[in-house]
Amino acid sequence: MSGNRPLLLFDVDGVLLQEVGYYRTLAITCAYFYEQICEAMSIPPSLPLSTAATSMEVVERLRDAFLPLSLLRLLRSRALNSNWDKTYAIVLAMRALSPEVLTSDSLQPSIFAVLSDTSGSGNHYLRQLEHMVNVSDHKLFEQVYEVFQQVHLGPWPTVPFLLRGMIEFDEPMVEKNELLKTFQNLQNQGFLMGIGTGRPWKEVKMPLEALGLLRFFQPDRIVTIDEVRKAEDREGLAPFSLAKPHPYTYIRGANEYSPDDVYVIGDSLSDQLAANDAGFHFIGIGHASAFSDARINPHVVIDHVLHLPSVLVNNGG
């Protein structure tokens, strides 16, 4: 396909929508599994539990306890794209700790130490953690996934605050009207637009429709984790083995496009690796330090998506 109408493939979290809602869901889910681990060991929990998430103030305390910024940066540096993977990694790390540590003030640094000392990236990193705690099947991951989704989409048992789930609090990365102007500008410039995300379709449709953004994207170039899971089932592959940083999500969205005409817009090393493996251009959103993999360099890094129209023109898009 010619370069007359370049294709832009957008990640969602950290690019279009704030990811803080997912981080809050992650913390509540980790609190739930922390309680389960303590109960299995017959030890008293020393941190707040998921049932305590009765207000945003409490949820933020859970986030401080289970996902401090240092830990989030570590997990992102290991190219864990989905927040299910991040949650799963923390749960595996907690399972590696002794009862004494689980009930002590050193719980948070001990989780960080386990995750920091584990090598690899993406699925290889998770397999290393699984091996360390003798997890040999996908049942625990599926449990983490199911709890995470219930917290995010609601209702979470006994917590009226989460009746409609944490997704109720989704917000755009930038002011709504400015975001709409930017996408109208991109459309007027002749760009085709798609989505490559680790979110399920429902979690893409609800917030983007509410913002009025969904209409800018080509329906056949919206690839969510739902399509990834279907492809894995067809091929008999492990769950999420084709998820980013695997390039499948972006390759499917760019179907029949010449790689030189495709620009991936993402906010993580995982997006960068996937775009690079597919042979596509990559535009990073956020800080350059997030794209520090020595093997590759992003096409360009910008503060937020509002700068995209001018950047694409200046860089020959």
pLDDT band at 52 (very low <50, low <70, confident <90, very high): confident
What whole-number distance in Å separates Cα of residue 130 and Cα of residue 2?
45
DSSP result, 68-83? -HHHHHHHHHTT--SH
Residue 226 has pLDDT above 90, yes or no: yes
User: To the nearest whole number, what is the mean pLDDT of the chain?
Assistant: 91
Residue 47, pLDDT score: 81
Confidence (pLDDT) at 297:
57
* CA–CA gap between residue 235 and residue 229 (Å, rounded): 10
pLDDT in tens, 56-111: 999 999 999 999 999 999 998 898 878 999 999 999 999 999 999 999 888 999 99
**What is the Cα Rg of the chain in Å?**
20
Spatial separation of the C-alpha atoms in residues 238 and 227, rounded to whole Å: 14
pLDDT at 294: 45
Per-residue pLDDT tens over the stretch 234-246: 999 988 889 999 9
Check whether the bond before 48 is cis (ω within 30° of 0): no
In this prediction, residue 277 has a pLDDT band, given cuts at 50, 70 and 90, of very high
Average pLDDT over residues 200-216: 94
pLDDT on residue 157: 76
How many other CB atoms are there within 10 angstroms of residue 216's CB atom?
20
Segment 215-227 mean pLDDT: 97
Residue type, 204: V
Domains in the chain, start-ordered, CATH in brackets? Answer: 7-18+171-314 (3.40.50.1000), 20-168 (no CATH)
Structure tokens given for 15 = 């690019």
DSSP character string of 94-129:
HHTS-HHHHTSTTHHHHHHHHHHH----HHHHHHHH
> Amino acid identity, residue 70?
S
* Percent share of the chain, pLDDT over 90: 72
Helix/strand/coil percent split, the chain, to 5: 55, 10, 35
User: How confident is the model at residue 1, as a pLDDT?
Assistant: 42
Q: What is the mean pLDDT of residues 197-207?
A: 93
DSSP state of 17: B
For residue 87, the model assigns a pLDDT of: 97
**What is the tens place of the pLDDT at every residue in 155-170?**
887 778 888 889 888 8
Are 223 and 252 spatial neighbours (Cβ–Cβ below 8 Å)?
yes
Torsion of the alpha carbons at 171, 174, 180 and 183, rounded to the nearest 10: -110
Start-to-end CA distance of the chain, whole Å, equals: 15
Averaged over 37-47, what is the pLDDT? 91
